[in-house]
Amino acid sequence: MEIKKNDYFDIDIIDIGINGEGIGKIDNFIIFVEGALPDEKVNIKIVKVNKNYGYGKLINILTPSPFRKEPICKYFKQCGGCNLLHLDYDKQLDIKTSFVQANLKKIAKIEDVKVDKAIGMESPFHYRNKASFPINFTDKVNIGFYKPRSHNIVNIENCLIQHPINDTIIKKIKEFIKESGISIYNETTNKGDLRHIVTRIANKTNELLICVVVNNTKFLYEDLLIEKFKDIPNLDSIVINFNTQNNNVILGNKTKTILGKGYIVDYIKDLKFNISPLSFYQVNPVQTEVLYETALKFCDLKGDEIVFDAYCGIGTISLFLAKNCKKVYGIEIVEDAIKNAIENAKLNNIDNASFFVGKSEEVIPKLIFEDCINPDVIVVDPPRKGCDEALLDAIAKTNINKLVYVSCDNATLARDIAYLSNFGFKLNKLQPVDMFCNTTHIECVALITR
Ligand SMILES: C[S@@+](CC[C@H](N)C(=O)[O-])C[C@H]1O[C@@H](n2cnc3c(N)ncnc32)[C@H](O)[C@@H]1O
């Protein structure tokens, strides 16, 4: 059958894609339909036809999925951040578990590993402890989130997955812009000052840090900004981040504290952590405890092991494991994060953890082959792009037989498992943990053994 733009079809949705889009077929031609769910019959209008697949606009749901939910967010259609909000939460967990299984099969060619169902939250809302709001100016000031696949900002007054304090912060930052007359950053011309607002709130202590990112080397409105925000309950710190780079990176390397101590303090279980603005910290504090407990369980420590924690951030996993082993070595590329990690070990009276600034793929081979430290267990928790091959090569050359891989991108996890399988490693267990509820993202902990 010929399929042309502007044609209408009734189709069955048979699957869901990694961005939450429904997938159907017309004859054998694949059509992606945003907003449609598996097991639905929908009426669509073809909006784009490529060689092997096309896109349809959802016109009407003829037979709804029994798992369809009314998305309780007024920005759902434009924002796209919560691309599974129209789906029952328990079903979201099933779908994300099947994403992981599909990648293991497709990329790592693994058929026989049982992936346990993703562990979800009791209440999958207002869970994020960090928000990054881009700011631009069109006919007005816009603050919110980027629309999918664009840099157009959807103005947001409240967000279902963020901490509610952000609603007040957005309102106040709009007032600050009006009163100060500060110029707004334009990413095309790389001119204008105000780029982003980043907020962090500690789950256990409620300490709040507001970070204002400017495209400048100075900031002229400190007093007004402090005045504007000083009444916000639990406000601990205001920092200015200077970012004059013409790219998509949110934070620059230089930060000035204009109020408070310049970092927040939080607890994971009974461990206390200092968290500075440039350091990575897991965004879902409730599920972080589940994630780390799972990693600890997979490490199965007896007390006399040497453990490497690659990509350690502020040392959270390292310190979580330290009580259960002889010695932990944490490795992280961001200097501020390692400063925090060293402070955090002291804060918790932990003296069997050492931390190193540098690339895991450079520091770990040095620790093993030059300093002759033989780890019993290696934990890796890389960014989305996964582990560098040099790190995997080094791991392969040791006689280690247990690797615990914490991953926020199961496609690169599957790729790295496939690579390690060339050296006798095998995926033993995999537990997904839902850190990013109502979105298609899923965190995983994998036990890889040899
Ligand atoms: C997903 S975070 C995990 C941090 C920590 N394990 C946690 O749970 O909070 C990844 C970390 O890897 C760091 N990183 C990125 N590339 C790196 C590299 N090549 N070597 C070491 N650390 C790196 C990032 O700065 C970030 O702190």
Whose tokens are 């259960």? That residue is 324
Instruction: List CB contacts of 306: < 8 A, sequence separation 6 or more.
Output: 325, 326, 327, 328, 329, 373, 374, 375, 376, 377
User: Are residues 30 and 143 both part of a single domain?
Assistant: no
User: Are residues 354 and 334 both part of a single domain?
Assistant: yes
Distance CA 285, CA 345 (A): 19
- Asked if residue 332 has its Cβ within 6 Å of ligand 1, the reply is yes
Distance CA 151, CA 404 (A): 36
Whose C-alpha lies nearest to ligand 1, atom 16?
333
Q: Does the residue 181 lie in any domain?
A: yes
Q: Where are the alpha helices (DSSP H) in 219-284?
A: 222-229
Out of 236, 268, 300, a domain closes at 268
Phi–psi pair at 296, nearest 5 degrees: -60, -45
Instruction: Map residue 253 onto helix, strand or coil.
Output: coil
- Asked if residue 162 has its Cβ within 6 Å of ligand 1, the reply is no
Closest by CA position to 377, among listed 417, 432, 318: 318
CATH number at residue 147: 2.40.50.1070
Amino acid at 422: N
Could you tell me what percentage of the chain is helix, strand and coil, using 3-state DSSP and rounding each to the nearest 5?
25, 30, 45
Closest by CA position to 263, among listed 344, 359, 144: 344
Mutating to test ligand 1, I would choose from 274, 328, 333 the residue with most ligand atoms within 8 A of its C-beta, which is 333
Instruction: State residue 310's pLDDT score.
Output: 98
Q: Does the residue 92 lie in any domain?
A: no
Mind telling me the catalytic residues? 408
- 115-125 pLDDT tens trace: 999 999 999 99
Instruction: State residue 239's pLDDT score.
Output: 98
- DSSP secondary structure code for residue 144 in this structure: E
The upper half-sphere exposure of residue 341, i.e. CA atoms within 13 Å in the direction of its Cβ, equals 34
Closest by CA position to 203, among listed 89, 307, 103, 288: 288
Phi–psi pair at 364, nearest 5 degrees: -65, -45
Contact assessment for residue 389 and residue 365, using Cβ atoms and an 8 Å cutoff? no
Query: Taking the mean position of all CA atoms in its chain, how far away is CA 214?
Result: 23
Strands 402-407 and 377-380: parallel
CATH number at residue 353: 3.40.50.150
CA 142 to centroid of ligand 1, rounded, Å: 31
Instruction: Map residue 38 onto helix, strand or coil.
Output: coil
User: Are residues 253 and 140 both part of a single domain?
Assistant: yes
Q: Does the residue 125 lie in any domain?
A: no
Instruction: State residue 14's pLDDT score.
Output: 97
- Total domains present in the chain: 3
Mutating to test ligand 1, I would choose from 267, 279, 280 the residue with most ligand atoms within 8 A of its C-beta, which is 280
User: Are residues 350 and 370 both part of a single domain?
Assistant: yes
Q: Does the residue 366 lie in any domain?
A: yes
Instruction: State residue 80's pLDDT score.
Output: 87
User: Are residues 135 and 114 both part of a single domain?
Assistant: no
Contact assessment for residue 131 and residue 96, using Cβ atoms and an 8 Å cutoff? no
CATH number at residue 12: 2.40.50.140
User: Are residues 331 and 445 both part of a single domain?
Assistant: yes
Q: What is the pTM of this model?
A: 0.95
Distance CA 212, CA 342 (A): 26
Supply the DSSP string of 350-368, one letter for each residue. Answer: --SEEEEES-HHHHHHIII
- Structural domain containing residue 50: 8-68
- Asked if residue 337 has its Cβ within 6 Å of ligand 1, the reply is yes
User: Are residues 310 and 256 both part of a single domain?
Assistant: no
Closest by CA position to 32, among listed 71, 3, 70, 2: 3
User: Are residues 55 and 114 both part of a single domain?
Assistant: no
Instruction: Supply 116's token pair.
Output: 């346990």
Residues of the chain with pLDDT under 50: none
Contact assessment for residue 252 and residue 211, using Cβ atoms and an 8 Å cutoff? no
User: Are residues 24 and 46 both part of a single domain?
Assistant: yes
Distance CA 5, CA 166 (A): 42
Kindly tell me the sign of the dihedral angle through the C-alpha atoms of 376, 381, 384, 385. Answer: negative
Residue 238, number of CB atoms within 10 A of its CB = 23
Instruction: Supply 177's token pair.
Output: 């812009």
Instruction: Supply 179's token pair.
Output: 């009163």
- Asked if residue 386 has its Cβ within 6 Å of ligand 1, the reply is no
Q: Does the residue 149 lie in any domain?
A: yes
User: Are residues 251 and 291 both part of a single domain?
Assistant: no
User: Are residues 215 and 300 both part of a single domain?
Assistant: no
